[in-house]
Amino acid sequence: MKIHFLGTAAAEGFPNAFCRCESCIKARELGGKNIRTRSSAIIDDVIKFDYSPDSYMQALRDSIDLGAIEHLLVTHTHSDHYNAYDLECRREGIAHGLQHPMHIYGNDAVMHHTRVAIGRFEGERFAFHLLRPFETIAVGDAVVTPLPADHDRMETCLLYVIEKHGKKLLYGHDSGWFPEATWAWLKERNLDCVILDCTHGYTGNSRDTNHMGIETVLEAQREFRRQNILKQEGKIVVTHFSHNSRLLHDEFDEIFKPSGVTVAHDGLILYI
């Protein structure tokens, strides 16, 4: 399974374009892995998580053919994760040579936003799929199970477990410490890789809500081991970083190196 990280920042990007804090100034000076766009990832070139406002730029930067995307799994409708109006650029007469519709999956709010933005094109270039937590579905040659996140009490935000070609991946953000029902479902799943939210730096809390910080990621790693959720050789990857963490890429790297956690950056490609 190929995982391509298109963006690895929280909602404001890193650096925040309006911000003059020390971390944003330093990120601009250093460039490279310190320049983070809004979060998204692609699996095996055909399954995309979320459609951020930066998707067009990310596709140009990383030479991504978005016309090859067959399935779009949306975690929730916050503006940094789902810019449905941009998908109108895929409609007939605007995009040419496409051989398949894009299947869009998500909660009730995702379906509403999608219908408002591009609903008139359903069946032509798009197909909509309403998901419910814990109801496993086939997504192409993968099997996908949506799980509840701890993120927004006004929306059923979703995490996703993808099973494909004998490999299992948890796309685990945006979320703080997982709800108990999610932990219960994950028990003894023996995942190959877990991608986690690390919006915050140090918070002094090992059970953060809404988003995770460093301590919560490390506590989640311990919980994965206790409950046999992750294989012994399995990977944990952190993403979705805010400039308010006050930490740059190399600093996150130093913090997580002793625990074997991988710090994602824009353009990173991993194989599991």
* 175/157 Cα distance (integer angstroms): 8
pLDDT over threshold 90, residue 221: yes
Contact criterion met (CB below 8 Å) for 86 and 63: no
| Dihedral sign (CA 19, 85, 34, 193) | positive
Going by pLDDT thresholds of 50, 70 and 90, the confidence category of residue 124 is confident
CA separation for the pair 69, 48 (Å, rounded): 7
> Given this model, what pLDDT does residue 3 score?
98
What are the pLDDT digits (tens) for 1-26? 999 999 999 999 999 999 999 999 99
Kindly state the average pLDDT of the residues 23-50: 98
pTM, rounded to two decimals = 0.97
User: Looking at the predicted structure, is the pLDDT value of residue 138 above 90?
Assistant: yes
Proportion of the chain above pLDDT 70, given as a percent = 100
- Residue 51 CB-density burial (10 A; 0-12 exposed, 13-18 middle, 19+ buried): buried
Q: What is the pLDDT of residue 114?
A: 97
Q: How many CB atoms lie within 10 A of CB 27?
A: 23
pLDDT digits (tens, 9 = 90+) for 49-98: 999 999 999 999 999 999 999 999 999 999 999 999 999 999 999 999 99
Can you give the pLDDT at residue 143? Answer: 98
| Residue 124 identity (one-letter amino acid) | E
Task: Name the CATH superfamily housing domain 2-271.
Answer: Ribonuclease Z/Hydroxyacylglutathione hydrolase-like (3.60.15.10)
Question: 123 falls in which pLDDT band (50, 70, 90)?
Answer: confident
* 126-130/262-263 β-pairing: unpaired
In this prediction, residue 261 carries a pLDDT of 98
- The residue extents of the domains of the chain are 2-271
What number is the average pLDDT over the span 250-272?
Answer: 98
- pLDDT at residue 192 is higher than 90: yes
Short-list 225, 239, 236, 246, CA closest to 267: 239
Overall average pLDDT of the 127-156 stretch: 98
- Over residues 256-266, the pLDDT tens digits come to 999 999 999 99
Task: Give the pLDDT confidence score for residue 25 in this predicted structure.
Answer: 98
